[in-house]
Amino acid sequence: MRCTHGKIALVFRIVPLLIVAGMVNLRAQDSSGVIKNYGNGLHKGSWALQFAIVNDFQLKDFQGATISIKRHYSESRAIRLGLALSESSNNYHTSEVFIEEPDYRNESINDQNNDRQGVGVYLQYIMYPTTHSNIHPYWGLGPHLGYSRDKTVIHNRLIDGYDPTIRETVDDNIQKSWTLGLSSIMGVEWFAGKNISLTAEYGILADYIWSKNVSTRIYYPGSQRRTSETKRNSFSFSGTAVKFGLAAYF
């Protein structure tokens, strides 16, 4: 049986919708198992999973997070936790050949590999000034931490027709970055149903970034090595684009 890319994409669109649909049917209960008839999800003890709404009403991670979950400690106060995980790997291969009659040949071969891993944790304290209507403004503030590692290896080989020696260089570059920041958010939440809401949110980020880059180049033949190290500190202050999201309460 063959599975096309279109079918795979359809599955990834349907699964989050099924999760949300299942949560709509959940009812908040106390420890005795008695169903409580809350007007919406903003009540003590409720949980919410949040998704971002993108083009064609697709659902994806919210706040740049792989997991974004909110816990209410009262009608007007909540804690939101976001965990962001990322990983990517790319490989490139290029080759160029120059031939000059009758018997000269020059060849250059390049192989490049890029690997990146990252993790981020976001924690925000959220307050709702009013909870007595279907439209609820809110604001929040909290810290976030991040770490990323980028590794790039470039292998170059040069074969010259006039020199039978193969000359090679291997460049190994590793960059590590740590981020410590503070984020503030302002938004509006509208309940389309008892356990489903739509949100529009804007944020401001203040980040302190520390990075370290180590580069090593090895020359062949001879195995000569050259290493350099660079450290950098920076501060950034920026705003985020308005994000539209969907929250499922349970």
> What would the mean pLDDT of 107-126 be, rounded to a whole number?
93
Percent of the chain with pLDDT over 70: 78
Mean pLDDT of the chain: 82
Give pTM, 2 decimals: 0.72
State the pLDDT at residue 33.
Answer: 44
Lowest mean pLDDT across 48-57, 74-83, 183-192, 240-249? 48-57
Band (pLDDT 50/70/90 cuts) for residue 68 is confident
State the DSSP code for 75.
S
DSSP 21-79: HHHHT---B-TT-PBP--SSS-STT-EEEEEEE-GGG-EEESTT-SEEEEEESSSSEEE
List Cβ neighbours of 111 (8 Å cut-off, separation of 6 or more). Answer: 91, 92, 93, 154, 155
State the pLDDT at residue 223.
Answer: 78
Distance from C-alpha of 110 to C-alpha of 108, rounded to nearest angstrom: 7
State the pLDDT at residue 56.
Answer: 58
pLDDT in tens, 164-191: 778 899 999 999 999 999 999 999 999 9
Spatial CA neighbour of 172 closest among 156, 150, 152: 152
Lowest mean pLDDT across 109-118, 136-145, 162-171? 162-171
Tell me: pLDDT of 16 over 60.
Answer: no
Tell me: pLDDT of 65 over 70.
Answer: no
> What would the mean pLDDT of 26-35 be, rounded to a whole number?
42
Tell me: pLDDT of 14 over 50.
Answer: no
Tell me: pLDDT of 114 over 90.
Answer: yes
Distance from C-alpha of 106 to C-alpha of 163, rounded to nearest angstrom: 10
Is 17 or 175 the better-scoring residue by pLDDT?
A: 175
Distance from C-alpha of 43 to C-alpha of 136, rounded to nearest angstrom: 13
What is the Cβ-side half-sphere exposure of residue 170, based on CA atoms within 13 angstroms?
9
Is 116 or 23 the better-scoring residue by pLDDT?
A: 116
Residue 46's φ and ψ, nearest 5 degrees, are -80, 155
State the pLDDT at residue 174.
Answer: 97
> What would the mean pLDDT of 205-226 be, rounded to a whole number?
92
> What would the mean pLDDT of 34-63 be, rounded to a whole number?
71
Token pair for residue 33?
Answer: 């198992």
Is 33 or 51 the better-scoring residue by pLDDT?
A: 51
> What would the mean pLDDT of 115-125 be, rounded to a whole number?
95
Tell me: pLDDT of 48 over 80.
Answer: yes
